[in-house]
Each structure stands twice: as structure tokens, then as C-alpha cells.
Amino acid sequence: MTEIKKAIKQITGRGMIVPGNDIDTDQIIPARYMKVVTFDGLGEYAFYDLRYDEQGNPKKHPFNEPRFAGASILLVNRNFGCGSSREHAPQALMRAGIAAVVGESFAEIFAGNCTAMGVPTVTLEGAAIQALTKIVDADPTVEMTLDLPSSTISCDGREFPFAMHPSYRSALIAGSWDSTSVLLSNVEKIESLVKRLPYLNGFAHG
């Protein structure tokens, strides 16, 4: 029997600050990079048009800053992930090494798509985001721990309570966030049900 994906209760890592409100999915992953058969390799195109000019030369952007190299927790502001419902946006972030996104608010579909791939999106009040951003900006090497059961982020001796969609939080903690894995973990039950369905068994009477 295939096991469901691992429960996600805690994520520890360094932060990366991507400031600005209303950062949409087209900024996160330009549409021309969505013409792919699989999501493999999308990470290199995260924020591509904001990171590089038309000649491919790097521009000033957090994803290009050496101090944020290897960071896995994205710090953002309001309405992050708005725009289209493309799941390529969270896929690009995840494949660029982002394991969680902390912000003031998120587009609902974006947050749902993130949850479906095991990337928590949690919200903090504006003042808390500012405080956390200040800590990371002063020392990008500092680590923070996002704890889903207690709904808190611990960083530099401080603790910040966060909010999260209840069903998303429950799915991540239970390990049922990946619907495909949940389905595959119940193959025996599915096969048993199929055997009892008359329209799949020549309408034979049991």
C-alpha cells in the first residue's frame, strides 16, 4: 500500500524578503514559461522578468541577492499570489526552494494551490510582518521556525502568532494535503468498492 505524504508540522529555515502588495502570479512565473509538460525546472523562472532584463542580465531582486541564497521561507505583504489561478506559480516557488510563505494576506486560490503541494501559507498582522522582516533584513542568517500545531513563528527569541485557513492547517498536520497520495493509500478500499459496483461487473447480482 502506498503511504500518504509526510505530515508537515514544523518548518525551519532562513527568510527571504520579497516586499510589495498585490504581487500576482504573472510576476511569480511569466506565462511564456508555463508551456511545459512537467513542472520540473520551473524554479529557475521564478520572478524571471523581475530578476533579469531582456538580455538576461541580473537585476536587483531578492532572489538574486547572495545574502538570501538558500532561504526557504518567503516573507511577503498583502494579497500575494493574486491574478490567475495558475498552479505554476507555487510550483515555481517550491522548486526554487521555498518551503513556506508568510504574509499579510494571500489570494485564496494561490493559498489552496500551495497547500496541495505541501507549502504552508500563513498570515501575520502588518506590524508582525514588519518586525519579522526587520529581523531578517538585519541578519539574513537567522533561522525561524514555523510551527503549525501551535500556530506560531519563532525567530530571534521572539514568537509571532499566525493565522491560517483551518482546513489547510489540518490537512498539512495530518499529512493528507496531497489528494493523489491519499487516493493511492486507499487502493485496497477502492478495488473492493469496484468489485461491488454492478455497472462495472456485468450487473451481476451478489
Number of domain units in the chain: 1
Give the global pTM.
0.83
Whether 174 maps to a domain, the answer reads yes
Q: What does DSSP assign to residue 106?
A: B
Extended beta strands in the chain, E state: 10-17, 73-75, 100-103, 121-123, 143-147, 152-155, 158-161
Q: What percent of the chain has pLDDT over 90?
A: 71
71 found inside a domain: yes
Domain-located, residue 133:
yes
Rounded CA-CA distance 17/62 in Å is 7
Structural domain contains residue 3: no
CATH code of residue 28? 3.20.19.10
Other CB atoms within 10 Å distance of the CB of residue 56: 8
102 occurs within a structural domain: yes
Per DSSP bridges, beta strands 73-75 and 10-17 are parallel
| Sheet containing 73-75: order of strands | 121-123, 100-103, 73-75, 10-17, 143-147, 152-155, 158-161
Domain that holds residue 187: 10-200
| Distance in angstroms (rounded) separating the CA atoms of residues 144 and 11 | 8
| Residue 49 within a domain | yes
Q: What nine digits make up the cell of 178?
A: 496531497
Q: What is the pLDDT of residue 3?
A: 44
Ranges in the chain, pLDDT < 50: 1-4, 182-186, 205-206
| 58 found inside a domain | yes
